[in-house]
Amino acid sequence: MESSTRREARFDDPRQLSVTLAATDRDVDAAQRLRYRVFAGEMGARLSGPAAGRDEDEFDAWCEHLIVRDERCGEVVGTYRVLTADRAARLGSFYADTEFDLSRLAPLRPGMCEIGRACIHPDYRDGGAIMLLWQGLAAFMQQRRCRTLIGCASIAMDDGGANALSVWRRLARTHLAPDANRVFPRRALPRLADVPETRDAAPAVIPALLKGYLRVGAWIGGEPAWDEAFGTADLFVMMPLERVEGRYARHYLKAA
């Protein structure tokens, strides 16, 4: 997906959205400010980047940034960052390496692309913006010949971790990666092993983004890790592209 490529989608409302790779520092800055608004402002994450009002870390300079823009006002309203295997090798790691032991995935690393920091402006969460991001991501993966998509999916811990535990236990039964592709948290979720599974436990509420990944064929790699800065339980998600369910592959790859 070249940085100048734009794909537009028109909806019943007057907004006109486009998806593209960030081409300038100003584009990246806008994406980081959106991330700060969502992660710090809405989720209460404790972010310690170098500039006030922006979510920025050492991985950003090595990533490419997909952005959705409202062309009527010029505002960036959705973003993903993507780290390719060659850039991760030069940097020394994927972001997921900081949370998980990925040693079993060594044979897959050359074909990996990592996605992260996904967020959508609160006024644009009707589905159109995330669909455009996924179409842009499909184009990116095709052009970079990515074979396995990886990332961390976050689950809020504001209930003390009860839902995160329920989600893990449910998905461990239905979507766990094969043993050869298993990963291990560097910092395990507090109390994970201490809480017995009971019949009266509340049903698992799977976050929408994670549910979307699972729907198209993703696995989870193992037990969740504890992300103290964001106050979340993070599940490692991996999606070998050959597992992408047929109708979704046709939809996104055709659109790309």
Residue 212 lies in a domain: yes
The H or E element containing residue 250 is helix 246-255
Q: Are 75 and 15 in contact (CB under 8 A)?
A: no
Residue 50 lies in a domain: yes
Residue 242 lies in a domain: yes
Give the model's confidence band at 75: pLDDT under 50 very low, under 70 low, under 90 confident, else very high: very high
Q: Which residues of 131-141 are buried (b: 16+ CB within 10 A; e: fewer)?
A: bbbbbbbbbbb
Residue 1 lies in a domain: no
Percentage of the chain modeled with pLDDT above 70: 84
Hey, what are 27's tokens? 């584009």
- Helices 246-255 & 128-144, crossing angle to 10 degrees? 90
pLDDT of amino acid 195 = 56
pLDDT tens, residue by residue, 209-220: 999 999 989 999
Residue 225 lies in a domain: yes
Residue 101 lies in a domain: yes
pTM: 0.87
Residue 217 lies in a domain: yes
Q: What is the CATH number of the domain that holds 211?
A: 3.40.630.30
- Helices 208-216 & 128-144, crossing angle to 10 degrees? 50
Cα separation of 118 and 31, whole Å? 10
Number of folded domains in the chain? Answer: 1
pLDDT tens, residue by residue, 120-145: 999 999 888 998 999 899 889 989 99
Q: Are 225 and 164 in contact (CB under 8 A)?
A: no
Residue 133 belongs to what domain range? 7-255
Rounded to whole angstroms, the maximal C-alpha distance in the chain is 54
Residue 2 lies in a domain: no
Q: Are 54 and 33 in contact (CB under 8 A)?
A: yes
